[in-house]
Structure 1
Amino acid sequence: MMNSKNSAESAKGLNEIEPVKIILADDDKDDQELFKDALDAADIPSDVTAVDNGQQLLDRLKDDAEPNPDMVFIDVNMPVKGGRQALNEIRSDEKLKDIPAVMLSTSGHPQDIEDALSHGADLYIQKPNSFTGFVLLLKKVFSLHWAKTLTNPLKDFFFLSENNISKKD
């Protein structure tokens, strides 16, 4: 027999998914808006906080008044503190090291990808050339996240780009 609390929770509806709490670190305001619009278009319930550089990301993550996000997206190239340095500091911090970190870059160079993997990124996304490509990439990222694949990245799924997304589905 279900108690009233459980039935109330199940009556709330299976369609209501708790929004994913995301911090996006990207110095380009247009890219921040594109990211948010693509999440909306992908029907991914989310609560996005955008910051402009790696230092602001770390300040936000270390703020005890704020809960840790479910995931961070980090642009590789930013002023003040770049994405690689921010990732290194996140992975060396006992309280932050388990937060899934997705690196974003226009580069698809193998050395950049290998560098992100070796420094503890969970996923590396080459920024797409189209809005549709961004929507498809975010859908893939969150299907991996919800399947818990991001907590132990597989090399096959580590690098996503608009060109290889259809090959992996």
Structure 2
Amino acid sequence: MISSENHHLAPEGSNEKEPVKIILAEDDKDDQELFIDALDEAQVPSEVTTVENGQELLDTLRDQSEPNPDIIFIDVNMPVKGGKKALEEIKSDKELRDIPAVMLSTWSHPADIEDSFDKGADLYVQKPNSFTGFVLLLKKVFLLHWTKALLRPVVSLFFVSEKNISHKD
């Protein structure tokens, strides 16, 4: 099932930024809700479309009636088509390859991280254990993204987890 939610965080009449168009590929409903709630808390004006596996993600991206998203978040472990397989197909498609792709995983295995990097992911994020951690992490991801640090990631900036980000920002 594909759902779409609009989140307009700025008050009416203010200088509202265009909402960020996000597709979240995540099969866990709780993780979908956590992600959307954390975006709200991080005050990232966004329109989130959720899909539940890599095949739904590809179908949504290839739908000509929908504009491409600004960024996609892809859970590594999903049914039907896993995140890394979907990433590989996205990055080999000339129409889709320039969309920034952030991999999400509960694991931080170096081989997984390297494999995602080699397949063209722009960032690999270890899912935080807490809501606060998720909010902080999303703030960092969007700060990195909008300063264009993701255009050509370097490996040292590529892996993000709660352990290697400061709680002071």
Q: TM-score, normalised by structure 1?
A: 0.90
Matched with 1:110 is 110
- Residues 157, 15 of structure 1: alpha-carbon distance in 2 compared, 3 angstrom cutoff: farther
Pairing 1:10-159 to 2, within 5 Å after superposition: 15-159=15-159
- Residues 15, 163 of structure 1: alpha-carbon distance in 2 compared, 3 angstrom cutoff: farther
Partners in 1 of 2:124 and 2:14 — Cα distance?
31
Paired residue type of 1:148: K
Paired residue type of 2:92: S
- Residues 13, 145 of structure 1: alpha-carbon distance in 2 compared, 3 angstrom cutoff: farther
Q: TM-score, normalised by structure 2?
A: 0.90
Alignment RMSD (CA, Å): 1.7
Structure 1 residue 60: Cα displacement: 0.2
Matched with 2:7 is none
Tell me the number of residue pairs that the alignment of Structure 1 and Structure 2 aligns.
158
Structure 1 residue 72: Cα displacement: 0.3
Identity %: 71
- Which secondary structure does the structure 1 equivalent of 2:163 belong to? coil
Contiguous gaps of at least 5 residues in structure 1: 1-11
Structure 1 residue 135: Cα displacement: 0.4
* 2:165 paired with 1:165: yes
Partners in 2 of 1:14 and 1:32 — Cα distance?
29
Structure 1 residue 14: Cα displacement: 7.0
Instruction: From the two aligned structures, give the one with the greater helix fraction.
Output: 1
Partners in 2 of 1:40 and 1:21 — Cα distance?
14
Structure of larger gyration radius:
1
Structure 1 residue 93: Cα displacement: 0.4
Partners in 2 of 1:37 and 1:80 — Cα distance?
26
Partners in 2 of 1:162 and 1:127 — Cα distance?
8
Deviations 1:44-103 (A, max 9, x none): 000000000000000000000000000000000000000000000000101000000000
Matched with 1:8 is none
Moved over 2 A (4+): 12-15
